[in-house]
């Protein structure tokens, strides 16, 4: 009692006592609030420094995270070494984050590998004002060149003719269609980027496409995931060295293309994306406006981003579509019957799509089941955020698990089966599904989505119109392998198919 009296009689002691009580009260309230309102997402217990690395298969990270989703729910966290990653799973959760809270979940994570590849320039791996301006410019420019409209349709149809000729050359024998499809999709984006297409026999073009394909594959390797945790290991990792060599070689080639476009530039005639960028840059300079975004490096990396995205993902989607056609011949027969009835022997046009509901449904279902970008590219939160009662710090790496959206059992009747009825109503009319999210969603949705959709539909329908795609003689459709080659995207295994001319 005397001690309490002494405390209250001493002004200094009384102040310290008050501060102590206030701190204890704040701690109690904060702890109570944190436990009820701002608790962190659940997840598996990890080891110091290593985190949950040994609990996941880095060769099929999407599957490991999908399994954890079933255990911990749609918002959970894992540790890649010391780095915390929040995983978003299921259609409703991914939509809530990327669409309803697009600003908060709209940043791109800049890990060591992404920085090595882009140096914070370009469109895909940049943030802030650079990203906003480059994306805005790219969208406007590509639309000006007809992305998703009549002009790009003519570019795609023209390339369809070249691809059909490639298939015709292999008639009567089994062949691997990988390279021809790679070159066809690459030529569509090349025409928009560079104002020209390339012959499939052009060795420089072949090398550029090969390096790009290899880089995208290696970016999903386990060794480069480890590199992001321990970047000092880079020079000792073969995959890192190969990726950097590929990127540097492609950059050197693109610099030569840009230099040639500069020499022949006529500000009154804009023929391609590079021209549009150079004209914009010159206009700003002539006006005395200093703009830190229209730099040669932003041009170089933006072209690299668009070339890669416009080549690899679209090409692999086409390969999956043809593989499914060979795997499910009855489905292919129905597609061909619809094409013959509606289009006949003339060239398929994009306006035909509304009258080809089954063909459209098959293309969508192939894209859904192929699930070629199961994790999307990692996001980062732009501010502190509470999602479904869980607190997520600013700057947290976020993985939108697109596998869980495209295979969401609450959205798809048979999520793990090839079922075109997912996109058809009872009357056989095509229906759009909100959970169809192969291009991701929100601020970071694929820039070339409309172009890719047009390409996939026109290429697939044109090829099925002209060819019967099947397993080669002596191989049954059941023997075709649907297990993917795992990289940054899921590609079909290289295997031979047979293309027989229909007319």
Handedness of CA 294, 299, 305, 309 (dihedral sign): positive
Taking each helix axis from N to C end, the angle separating 128-144 and 273-286, rounded to the nearest 10 degrees, works out to 120
Ranges of beta strands (E only) in 198-302 are: none
Q: What share of the chain is helix, strand, coil (3-state, %, to 5)?
A: 60, 10, 30
**Residues facing 266 on adjacent strands:** 269
CA distance 444 to 427: 35
Q: Which residues are CB-contacts of 397 (< 8 A; sequence separation ≥ 6)?
A: 83, 84, 85, 86, 109, 111, 378, 379, 380
**Residues facing 249 on adjacent strands:** none
Q: Is 446 a known ligand-binding residue? A: yes
Contact (CB, 8 A) for 129 and 401 = no
Phi, psi of 189 (to 5 degrees): -75, -30
Alpha-helical (H) ranges within 145-230 are 150-169, 178-194, 203-218, 222-229
Q: Which residue has the tokens 């703009």?
A: 291
Phi, psi of 392 (to 5 degrees): -125, 120
Return the structure tokens found at 199. Answer: 């012959």
Instruction: Write out the binding residues for heme.
Output: 446
Q: Which residues contribute to the annotated binding site?
A: 446
């Amino acid at each position: 009692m005397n001690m309490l009296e002494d405390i209250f009689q001493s002004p200094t002691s009384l102040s310290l006592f008050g501060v102590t009580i206030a701190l204890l009260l704040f701690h109690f309230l904060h702890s109570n609030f944190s436990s009820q309102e701002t608790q962190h997402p659940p997840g598996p217990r990890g080891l110091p420094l290593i985190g949950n690395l040994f609990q996941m298969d880095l060769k099929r990270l999407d599957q490991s995270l999908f399994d954890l989703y079933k255990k911990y729910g749609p918002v959970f966290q894992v540790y890649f070494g010391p780095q915390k990653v929040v995983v978003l799973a299921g259609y409703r959760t991914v939509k809530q984050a990327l669409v309803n809270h697009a600003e908060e979940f709209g940043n791109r994570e800049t890990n060591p590998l992404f920085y090595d590849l882009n140096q914070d320039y370009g469109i895909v791996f940049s943030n802030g004002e650079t990203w906003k301006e480059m994306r805005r410019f790219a969208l406007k420019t590509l639309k000006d060149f007809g992305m998703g409209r009549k002009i790009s349709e003519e570019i795609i149809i023209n390339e369809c003719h070249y691809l059909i000729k490639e298939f015709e050359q292999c008639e009567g024998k089994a062949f691997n269609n990988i390279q021809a499809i790679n070159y066809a999709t690459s030529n569509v984006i090349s025409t928009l980027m560079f104002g020209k297409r390339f012959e499939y026999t052009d060795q420089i073009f072949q090398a550029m496409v090969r390096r790009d394909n290899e880089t995208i594959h290696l970016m999903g390797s386990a060794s480069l995931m480890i590199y992001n945790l321990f970047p000092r290991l880079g020079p000792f990792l073969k995959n890192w060295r190969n990726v950097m060599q590929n990127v540097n070689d492609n950059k050197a080639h693109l610099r030569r293309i840009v230099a040639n476009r500069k020499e022949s530039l006529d500000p009154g005639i804009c023929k391609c994306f590079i021209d549009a960028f150079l004209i914009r840059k010159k206009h700003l300079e002539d006006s005395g406006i200093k703009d830190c975004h229209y730099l040669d490096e932003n041009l170089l990396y933006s072209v690299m981003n668009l070339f890669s995205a416009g080549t690899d993902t679209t090409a692999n989607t086409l390969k999956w579509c043809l593989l499914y056609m060979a795997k499910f011949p009855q489905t292919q027969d129905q597609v061909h019957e619809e094409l013959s009835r509606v289009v006949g022997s003339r060239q398929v046009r994009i306006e035909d799509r509304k009258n080809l509901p089954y063909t459209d449904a098959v293309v969508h279902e192939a894209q859904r089941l192929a699930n070629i970008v199961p994790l999307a590219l990692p996001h980062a939160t732009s501010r502190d955020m509470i999602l479904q009662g869980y607190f997520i710090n600013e700057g947290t790496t976020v993985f939108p698990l697109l596998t869980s959206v495209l295979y969401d059992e609450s959205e798809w009747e048979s999520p793990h089966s090839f079922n075109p009825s997912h996109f058809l109503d009872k009357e056989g009319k095509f229906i759009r599904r909100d959970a169809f999210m192969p291009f991701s969603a929100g601020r970071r949705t694929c820039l070339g989505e409309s172009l890719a959709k047009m390409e996939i539909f026109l290429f697939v329908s044109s090829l099925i119109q002209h060819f019967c795609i099947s397993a080669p003689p002596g191989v049954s459709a059941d023997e075709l392998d649907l297990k993917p080659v795992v990289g940054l995207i899921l590609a079909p295994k290289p295997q031979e198919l047979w293309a027989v001319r229909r007319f």
